[in-house]
Structure 1
């Protein structure tokens, strides 16, 4: 067979190494389309002049665009036959990526567990994205529920990896050059609130909302070369669980991050993702709002230019976040659809 039907749960083996096709050279055009889809306004990623004034050689590619490109490479091999992407952990942004860099991804299977219904199983993988020099730019773990080809196929001994709840502050910062705070102009960045302005327990309503259109989420997922069937094929999804195309969970992450600019404008770099949970699905026509809680503030060893905020951002569907809602949504009920626990670097 010359075509690729994708891997089913019984095709995976512990320790398996998968080299994903195809390498991808990122361009300023990719960054422009990403901006058109989500509207992020963080100054470092928006302007070469601003980025150079604070210590970058040029404006880096948006952190989440890097994540989605590295993630998208894995889909044909890991999650083409997935039921759902369940979560993320231990995600570290290790080097900045600039237009002209080429990224490729390799994954290792680090855990397998068949579900009790014997129709599906959970696959745990650690994926690493490298640039054209072989340098690691991103490393993360995710786990995904994958269909079995044959329900009677025997399963391997279950193995669930032990993962740290958070990335330690000492492991942050390698994806960010030394920043010159004197070159950081608050009037251009959009906020006067720097590291010392934030305290643990603080809650921020990001105020704005974005309604997602069908064409937008499909353009976004194609931008990442993510081939998951549930996002594109209405002909098949009409007979599926929801009767319509499901929006890629990463689309919600990028929307929430873009919305967070209103309140966190100086938190310019995602240094790590501690964990994430897609609580409920999103479909075209839904409006995404977001709010954030500052879980922790931390200094970085040997650095006085930036500090780190541990942020829990919740995205909701069709519910403004004035009252900081926490109730989980469902496919047919508005509520929280995403919880993302991450570290962001912010200028001092």
Structure 2
């Protein structure tokens, strides 16, 4: 057969290497591929990978007692699924995920619901060394009825295709709120707490029992396994090479696969059950930083500080706690200060996660 024969396939590049910093345009909208229908199997696998024990997400009966039709999926399973949609378009060539802000959870997600996501590029800034740039995106996840289930901002440092060449003459850095105001939070409309069972939930401590400045050592530790963190990340269809590809990792800074930072968030949240069992729903993510990398074999601990206590307007039975949860590796959380030498995060502090949760209040009856 001659080389000119039409039956001889010519080389053709159909794979996508992902976006580099130069490929982003301010104001553009990225429609992320692969909508995902979440199932009860996903919920069970998430529990198996994180050990989360919050009653609302574990029991249909408990959920129905609060006005839900059945147990909604864990808030962070929803977060990671939406996040995973964005990776091929936003951070496949990232150097680091730098932070989160202005996160709000909306409609609850149930088994059988389908999630899809879009992101808007809201900020661009080149780094001083010219090797990369920072990209800010606002991501919106919706269900099959186009109801918002999650809205948040994150920013990532992304490699350049052509290092050293100026591609953004003037930086645009979005002004972000330090925290999501109470009036912008979405409280489930049909939520009722008259039948909230403290014994089944796992704790007698209600919103009234927590004080601003209080620190809670969650006591328990959980060791990360290689297969578990990779399975968790695949569950969210997160395609970042640093979590899976050892040949890619060999050429990197650490020489081994890094645990997806979202898995650390989930494990810290699971550990927080011991001390915050009645924090039954996450409603906001105010900020978050992965301050140091985590690897298979590390053992995680966590502690939380109460940053704010807010009442929910019109709901004398419900309160908001703003929490700053920190995770550490390989020693009890209480053994480490948050800040190490030179004002930098302590090297064994791997996560700082600033978020708000709903918690029942002790209702005071008049007369």
- In 1, the alpha carbon distance for the partners of 2:339 and 2:190 equals 40
Query: Alignment partner of 1:306: what SS?
Result: strand
Would you say 1:282 and 2:294 are equivalent positions? yes
Shift in Å at residue 191 of structure 1? Answer: 0.4
In structure 1, the residue matched to 2:315 is: 303
Task: Give RMSD over aligned pairs.
Answer: 1.3
Q: Which runs of 5+ in 2 are unaligned?
A: 1-12, 362-367
In structure 2, the residue matched to 1:26 is: 38
Question: May I ask how many residue pairs the two structures share in their alignment?
Answer: 344
Shift in Å at residue 154 of structure 1? Answer: 2.5
Structure 2 counterpart of 1:171, from 169, 180, 184? 184
In structure 2, the residue matched to 1:3 is: 15
TM-score, scaled relative to structure 2? 0.92
1:1-348 alignment to 2 at 5 Å? 1-156=13-168, 157-174=170-187, 176-323=188-335, 325-327=337-339, 335-348=348-361
Tell me whether 256-265 or 301-310 shows the greater mean CA deviation: 301-310
Shift in Å at residue 179 of structure 1? Answer: 3.0
TM-score, scaled relative to structure 1? 0.96
In structure 1, the residue matched to 2:6 is: none
**Rg bigger for which structure?**
2
- In 2, the alpha carbon distance for the partners of 1:319 and 1:162 equals 37
Superposed CA offset, 1:79-123 (max 9, x none): 000010000000000111111100000000000000011111000
Superposed CA offset, 1:150-209 (max 9, x none): 0143322210000000011112233x3443322111110000111111111111000001
In structure 1, the residue matched to 2:365 is: none
Q: Contact 1:326–1:335 (CA<8 Å) still a contact in 2? A: no
Q: Contact 2:130–2:166 (CA<8 Å) still a contact in 1? A: no
Q: Which runs of 5+ in 1 are unaligned?
A: none
Q: Contact 1:280–1:328 (CA<8 Å) still a contact in 2? A: no
**Segments of 4+ in structure 1 off by > 4 A?**
none
- In 1, the alpha carbon distance for the partners of 2:40 and 2:227 equals 22
Q: Contact 1:55–1:177 (CA<8 Å) still a contact in 2? A: no
